[in-house]
Amino acid sequence: MSYKVAVVGATGNVGREMLSVLAERAFPASEVVALASTLKVKALDYYDFKGTDICLMSAGGAVSKAWSPRIAEAGAIVIDNSSTWRMDRKVPLIVPEVNPDALDAGIPKGIVANPNCSTAQLVVALKPLHEAATIKRLVVSTYQSVSGAGKEAMDELFRQTRAVFVADPIEAKLFTKQIAFNVIPHIDAFLDSGYTKEEWKMMVEVQKILDPDIQMTVTCVRVPVFIGHSEAVTAEFEKPITAGEARALLREAPGVLVVDKHEDGGYITPVEAAGEDAAYVSRIRKDPTVEHGLALWVVSDNLRKGAALNAVQIAECLVNRNLLRKAV
């Protein structure tokens, strides 16, 4: 059987990558319709979703809030990339390597959520370690690329970098401070707790996907990298687990590639992860400050595993598990 797939936000960073990933993985699509706000592609406002099986949605939270229920009502399953539906109890939040079975509890709203980009790569790397030794507490610091904030954010880094070299004035429009040759410890809105919404999202999404009992503290930082998010992770476990055991488990884990030679260059950086599918794990070592602890470094392409690839993998799960409405 083949399916009619709509991609909403098709001109954006994630949407363009979704179109590539659908083609690369030979997703069984009879038709792929590209939708955005402009007439270069089909205009969302005038599109009739009747007959669409799957809608890959990456046009931001406001568009998703208004459109996802309507599209689901027309009969499609919406796989949404925004944060709008992720913590809704009636919406499964899925990373196919980690919790695909959560789909079997049903998709009552016709919407499945994709996690935040930094969450997806983290849970792929942590799942095998959690299964083996039960994570009690996590401390995560992120180093997030500008593409995570959309195509205009990439342009801002480019413009500012150029301006530094030609001694033009630096204009900061999207980011609150200069991003070129700088790092900014602030992503998304500030909450009353002092954490940012990006940090809160990682904490609650890890709990929803992996285990509600995991305690977490997170610092999310924007860095002047175009593509690829990095994360320094320290995990405290209930049971003993050595760095060697973790390395062996991660080598077998789906979606993970271990590059961990303890020597110059024996680790992965975002430039090498860009365009790739894996969550790369490097720098695996013992955290000697707790009884059972490990430290590691996780890097992945935020537009792929963090968004487009994960969404297409969810679509594949829906097909394989006969969860599309057409197949019911």
Ligand X SMILES: NC(=O)c1ccc[n+]([C@@H]2O[C@H](COP(=O)([O-])OP(=O)(O)OC[C@H]3O[C@@H](n4cnc5c(N)ncnc54)[C@H](OP(=O)(O)O)[C@@H]3O)[C@@H](O)[C@H]2O)c1
Residues lying near ligand X in the complex (CB under 6 A): 9-15, 36-38, 44, 58-61, 63, 81-82, 116-117, 147-148, 150-151, 302-303, 306-307
d(Cα 38, Cα 323) in Å, to the nearest integer? 32
d(Cα 312, Cα 283) in Å, to the nearest integer? 30
Residue with tokens 């801002």: 156
Name the residue nearer to ligand X (CB basis): 53 or 301. 301
Minimum CB distance to ligand X, residue 73 (Å): 18
Name the residue nearer to ligand X (CB basis): 24 or 213. 24
> Distance of CA 47 to CAs 36, 52, 71, 97, Å?
10, 11, 10, 33
- Clarify whether 186 is annotated catalytic: no
Contact of 219 with 116, CB cutoff 8 Å: no
Name the residue nearer to ligand X (CB basis): 28 or 60. 60
The amino acid at 24 = E
Name the residue nearer to ligand X (CB basis): 308 or 318. 308
Minimum CB distance to ligand X, residue 62 (Å): 7
Name the residue nearer to ligand X (CB basis): 199 or 260. 199
Check residue 75 and report its DSSP letter.
T
Sheet with 29-36, strands from edge to edge, namely 42-43, 29-36, 3-8, 54-57, 77-80, 111-113
Name the residue nearer to ligand X (CB basis): 63 or 294. 63
Minimum CB distance to ligand X, residue 154 (Å): 8
117, 130, 220, 292: which is the annotated catalytic residue?
A: 117
Q: What is the DSSP string of 138-149?
A: EEEEEEE-GGGG
Minimum CB distance to ligand X, residue 83 (Å): 6
d(Cα 14, Cα 11) in Å, to the nearest integer? 8
- Clarify whether 317 is annotated catalytic: no
d(Cα 76, Cα 180) in Å, to the nearest integer? 41
The amino acid at 172 = A
Minimum CB distance to ligand X, residue 302 (Å): 4
Chain residue whose CB lies nearest ligand X: 12
Tell me the two tokens of residue 185. Answer: 């410890």
55, 130, 220, 229: which is the annotated catalytic residue?
A: 229
| Element containing residue 18 per DSSP (H, E) | helix 13-24
Minimum CB distance to ligand X, residue 200 (Å): 14
| Closest of 63, 80, 81, 36 to residue 303, by C-alpha | 81
- Parallel/antiparallel/unpaired status of strands 135-144 and 229-237: antiparallel
| Element containing residue 308 per DSSP (H, E) | none
Minimum CB distance to ligand X, residue 316 (Å): 18
SS3 (DSSP) at 8: strand
User: Any idea which residues carry the catalytic annotation?
Assistant: 117, 229
